[in-house]
Amino acid sequence: MDKLFKKTSLILVALIILSSFTMFFAISKSKNDTLKLDFFSCNDIVDTISNLEMNMTSIVYVQNEQGVWEEYQRLHGNENRIWIGIDKIPENLSNAFIAIEDQRFFKHSGVDWKRTGAAFINWLPNVNILSGNQGGSTLTQQLIKNVTEDNSQDAGRKFREIIRALTIEKMISKQTILEAYLNTISLGNGICGVQVAANYYFNKDVSELSLSECAVIAAITKNPSALEPINHAEGNEKRKQLVLDSMYEQKMITYDEYLDACKEKTVIDNSQKGNFEKEVNSYFIDALIDDLISDIKEKYDCSNETASAMVYNRGYKIYASINPKIQNTMEEVYENTNRYFSQKKNGENIQSSMTIMDYQGHIVGIVGGVGEKKVNRSFNRATSAPRQPGSTMKPLGAYTPALDTGKIYYSSVIKDEPLESYYPDGKPGPKEWYGYYSGNMEISKAIERSANTIPCHIVKSLGVDVSYKFLTEKLHLNHLVESDKNLSSLALGGCSYGVTTMESAAAYAIFGNGGKYFEPKTYFKVEKANGEIEFNSDSVGTQVIKPDTATLMNKLLQGVVYGYQGTGRGISGYNKMKVYAKTGTSSESNDLWMVAGTPYYVGSVWYGFDNNGTVYNQAGAANVWKAVMTEVHKDLEYKEFESLTEIEPQQCCKYTGKLKGDKCYYCGDSYFISGVNNEVCDGNHKEYYSGLTSSSVSSATSSKKENTTSSKTNKNSSVTTSLSPSADVSEVSSGTNHETQSATEDTESTLDNTDNSAPITPTQSEIKTPDASAVSKSETSNTVSKAETTEN
């Protein structure tokens, strides 16, 4: 016993001498100064406290219908901690901790020598020279332990802690220390800090706590796992009484306040936990996390693991772009598998993904799979599963860059005829999904009907390098590769990999915002815990096409929905507001697409099997788009496409599509982009076919006859095509829809225009329904298989 007492006494004396020696240097320092000789990392600890970067919970905020930001979800690692300023913490709560943990907090210099000495002496058996409810550590020492995670149980750790406490108290204020302590203290159930404790235990903001509730929270500190009030109410109640007793003894509260608090029954309300603590994140939150990890890695040049830890532990305030109403609507549709996703193949359910964004690239809703989401960070098809875009590539890779550069114009007439040596075996192509070539065709009609040959002619004239550069550098379709530099990929969407719904939505947004490209983002801004801006989303965008081009493409793509041969007519009834759109179907009907923009949002839907397989409900993508967007726009105020420029119509020659000349007698309204050297028709109508194609009329006629003959031999095809202009795609079942199952584009009524020298001005009686099954799947594909892909 004597030896142990002597040993303990010597340690205590040595500790006091060394601590006092260190205080000589600490006392000479001014507040906020840094130490030149910093053997115990005090500068780093102070910097951490000052910058508030200590394993703090990141919070996702969303705007409510009044435009006010409110908390939506919390992201945290092992510790759930939200920083709250000392000015927002009730005085009763601060006093409760001081009363039970460190009564002389405002009097000592970081170490309470009386308590420290008593703690050392009390190590001895049967010795209790200073009993009480407080331990040996001050709030400053406890804060240092929380920040450094230096928890070793030895005299060396205690010595470091004392030196640091004495030093740090000379570098920062008591208020700063108290604020940091109250925001880092462990309070049970993985909670750190008084704000989360108030949320978790009482469903309140910390500023709303009563005196009794303040005492309940302060009572947890001594042993968080054994004194938290949900599972250990009795133990917490006893210590709560000690807290109130101590507060009254130290004259922190009046007798009446003391009595009222003692009588108040503790009522736990942890219902708020479910509001912010999600066991399974939505696809949007997963995408948001991935977005932040990517941005952090780029900014700080760090690993994926480090970036991920920063997302969960940096205390970010994330102002997300999600619209909860839209996200919920999307999830409801995608969980309704019986109605929208009933097809299976070898036990595999059909899949789909959808992205909706505004016209500044902010994603407001995203779903990456069919059915209920059951795990976090699961595979997100909307962001990570590029698929062949089919005909949705035509406006992007062909019509838009050609229109923007003056290669074509709104009323251009181009011949629907095959290109020579399109296929590897030297045969002409591509085949038209509607079974024949229809001769001269205005591009408005080509887009409406989704012709295959015309975008190929355009890309050939434009140059595959120009098209590829526009798609990859301007529209950032990042899954295109060098092997996609061919007509099949760039004009018809038969890509090696393809695009995601997120990429296609961002690309199509340029038709509704005046030609600006915005990188897709899941947030508006991200703030650090101290209020500094960490990231800002792009609010300016990049002008990738002329505003006039965007306006004209918008008008052209509206024809897909409202034209009598439009392949996207089924979504026209989603709302009274206008919509521009493009449908797409890949080879063998493996991938279905609907990409469409309203005056509010642009949405992209992919529909198909993960491992490829023919989709029989060819209206699947359109059904999903319409179901979601009808609900989304139900209560929105009517508006037009506000960003579109006003372009006055001008007279054009209906034979050539050029501006009306002196000799033109068959004319109509068209639109021309200002600043482009538009040609005036010279009146040579009979001999004019197109500056973009030079094949003879006979080749088109021959191909047409060949396809017609083939069609006659397949009268018994089971494929049916809906021709009713009023047909509702959302109600069309598999086998009766707006898309032929054996072709590779959305099948609508078709036009047999035998007079190749005349403009296309059909009447209803001229509309014919070719037997689409006459043309084989491999040949009619608008996404020629890679074995067939060739560049002319």
CA-to-CA distance for 287 and 147, rounded, in angstroms? 31
What pLDDT score was predicted for residue 403? 95
Encoded amino acid at 391, one letter: S
For the chain, give the percent of residues with pLDDT over 70: 76
Q: What is the pTM of this model?
A: 0.77
770 pLDDT above the threshold of 70: no
Closest CA to 572 of 550, 596, 545: 596
120 pLDDT above the threshold of 70: no
pLDDT, averaged across the chain: 81
Query: Averaged over 530-556, what is the pLDDT?
Result: 94
CA-to-CA distance for 197 and 202, rounded, in angstroms? 8
> Which residues, in sequence order, are CB contacts of 480 under 8 Å at separation 6+?
468, 471, 472, 489, 495, 496, 497, 499
789 pLDDT above the threshold of 50: no
For the chain, give the percent of residues with pLDDT over 90: 59
Cβ(792)–Cβ(422) below 8 Å:
yes
Measured CA distances, 481 to 262, 291, 402, 498, 529 (Å): 72, 23, 21, 9, 41
Among 616-620, 665-669, 786-790, which is the least confidently predicted range?
A: 786-790
- Residue range 210-243, pLDDT digits in tens: 999 999 999 999 999 999 999 999 999 999 999 9
- DSSP SS3 for 601: coil
What pLDDT score was predicted for residue 745? 42
Closest CA to 417 of 460, 451, 459: 451
276 pLDDT above the threshold of 60: yes
Among 94-103, 116-125, 161-170, 765-774, which is the least confidently predicted range?
A: 765-774
What pLDDT score was predicted for residue 122? 53
> Which residues, in sequence order, are CB contacts of 249 under 8 Å at separation 6+?
none
Query: Averaged over 367-372, what is the pLDDT?
Result: 97
What pLDDT score was predicted for residue 599? 97
Paired strand residues for 349: 344
Query: Averaged over 117-146, what is the pLDDT?
Result: 64
135 pLDDT above the threshold of 70: no
Both tokens assigned to 391: 């005909």
What pLDDT score was predicted for residue 9? 55
| 656 vs 382 pLDDT, higher one | 382
Place of tokens 């190590």: 123
Query: Averaged over 274-298, what is the pLDDT?
Result: 90
125 pLDDT above the threshold of 90: no
Both tokens assigned to 629: 């967007």
763 pLDDT above the threshold of 90: no
Measured CA distances, 62 to 322, 422, 423, 773 (Å): 7, 52, 52, 50
- Residue range 83-111, pLDDT digits in tens: 888 999 999 999 999 999 989 899 887 78
Among 175-184, 527-536, 726-735, which is the least confidently predicted range?
A: 726-735
- Residue range 706-743, pLDDT digits in tens: 433 333 333 333 222 222 222 222 222 222 233 332 33
Query: Averaged over 554-581, what is the pLDDT?
Result: 96
632 pLDDT above the threshold of 70: yes
CA-to-CA distance for 284 and 363, rounded, in angstroms? 8
Cβ(542)–Cβ(616) below 8 Å:
no
Query: Averaged over 336-342, what is the pLDDT?
Result: 96
